[in-house]
Amino acid sequence: KFKMNSNDPVRVNLSPDNTACCREMKLSDTFDTTNREKFRPVYHFSPLYGWMNDPNGMVYKDGEYHLFYQHNPYGSKWGNMNWGHAISKDLINWEYRSDAITPDAFGTIFSGSAVVDHNNTAGFGAGAIIAIYTQNGDRQVQSIAYSTDNGRTFTKYADNPVLVSEARDFRDPKVFWYEGTKRWIMVLAVGQEMQFFSSPNLKNWTFESSFGKGQGAHGNVWECPDLFELPVEGTNEKKWVLLCSLGDGPFGDSATQYFVGTFNGKEFVNESPSKTKWMDWGKDHYATVTWCDAPDNRRIAIAWMSNWQYANDVPTSQYRSPNSVPRDLSLFTVDGETYLQSAPSPELLKLRDVSKKRSFKVNGTRIIKDMIADNEGAYEIELTIENQHADVIGLRLYNDKGEEVDMQYNMTEKKFSMDRRKSGDVGFNENFPMLTWTAIESGKDELKLRLFVDKSSVEAFGDGGRFVMTNQVFPSEPYTHIDFYSKGGAYKVDSFVIYKLKK
């Protein structure tokens, strides 16, 4: 059962086999649903019905975070793209709204962003929320729609589209206000590059420059850009970060890379052209974008937690794919190179319920069965480990069916890895079984790790988010046990805390 907060109709697909069975639901309707699927996450955002991919139009206004998203309201496979919509006051509890922007003669509604037009530059009213999105029809064009009721309803601009091109892949506008030139900036993914446009009013756009040739990873098209400025930890400096998703990540297909450099309102310059930097070292972290106008100058990112290689095949039926947990971004420097740090957003602490804390030494194996009572498969593990000569620091989450996720710090090779090859149902697509890994900073004996486990995912945050790894898993029952193991020496778990996480 669910409650709706307005009389906006919601289209509901009630067919598990994804046939075109669709009903319009109104506030006055109440119905039971078999929608509580086994793999539906407990605390990650997932669409009520149907397919979801990229987060879109993330904007904060008057105490509310808006999350729009690529949504197929008619079924749980990709197609018929609309902008789904949800609102939250705390990034944790989301209120489902009906789809905000729906297809028209210019095409279906692809990814894009939203801004608050404080100065009424577009003439739709001061404080209007304006969505800028791609329409996918005969070609890809950019359109706008505005809301003067805090995102509850949107009106499409009568003179859409506002930006067209001959380019076939011309999409995913990220728009923000640049105070330096007093212009709106749009970053657009165009084939294998990013293009920058500027506008005084969100309606008339001027091409400024392009970026991409010979920079970072290529392969397949670039998608879902974002561009923002962040302070560099321990300095008075600020740098610009350009996010870019693409289908050629370190473990196959979908991943988000980023560039660090300067932006002057016209041009982005990458300070390390020979380096490729990844935001997340798992297989399921794509289309990462950040909130506009978030309070306290925070830069909060969220990603789609899947991979185009198998997103349409994952073993769910009423819905497909959640988002990652929100992350607060910052910059840090190691050996003269600046990197992005993605820390779990502090709001996630609100999810913590019952906890248990222990400390112990591991020399061989230490088994902890039934880590926490009433474990529904939604928990956080917070670890501080002191290495005392171990070559391998291992931990294994597992269930009574012999399904497991194995994680290791390899101290000799300076790597952290996550192996989901035996994590449960892995056979629905040949690209799903996988061990993912990342290099870790050398010379550290104190290791800090936070693991967010939900019904069908594991997100690992190392060293406060200096490395992150996000992977989906589909166990037949939750991982209720954990083994700590060591190879080649001992280590001390200074603190092992497990929190049950609330819905």
Partners of 109 in the beta sheet? 135
Tokens of 149: 């009721």
Active-site choice (8, 54, 149, 296): 54
Question: Is 360 strand, coil or helix?
Answer: strand
Toward ligand FRU, which CB reaches closer, 71 or 420?
71
Toward ligand FRU, which CB reaches closer, 171 or 285?
171
Toward ligand FRU, which CB reaches closer, 303 or 447?
303
Least distance (Å) from ligand FRU to the CB of residue 321?
11
CA dihedral for 107, 108, 110, 114, sign (positive or negative): positive
Neighbours of 120 (CB within 10 A): 12
Least distance (Å) from ligand FRU to the CB of residue 157?
19
Note whether 309 and 253 are within 8 A (CB): yes
CA distance 223 to 263: 19
Least distance (Å) from ligand FRU to the CB of residue 53?
5
CA distance 47 to 502: 18
Tell me which DSSP letter residue 292 carries. B
Tell me which DSSP letter residue 325 carries. P
Binding region for ligand FRU (CB under 6 A):
53-54, 70, 81, 110-111, 134, 171-172, 223-224, 287
Tell me which DSSP letter residue 311 carries. T
Least distance (Å) from ligand FRU to the CB of residue 151?
20
Toward ligand FRU, which CB reaches closer, 286 or 432?
286
Least distance (Å) from ligand FRU to the CB of residue 247?
9
CA distance 136 to 28: 34
CA distance 45 to 87: 11
Toward ligand FRU, which CB reaches closer, 53 or 215?
53
Q: Is 54 noted as a catalytic residue in this protein?
A: yes
Tokens of 79: 């197609």
CA dihedral for 314, 192, 186, 103, sign (positive or negative): negative
Residue numbers annotated as active site: 54
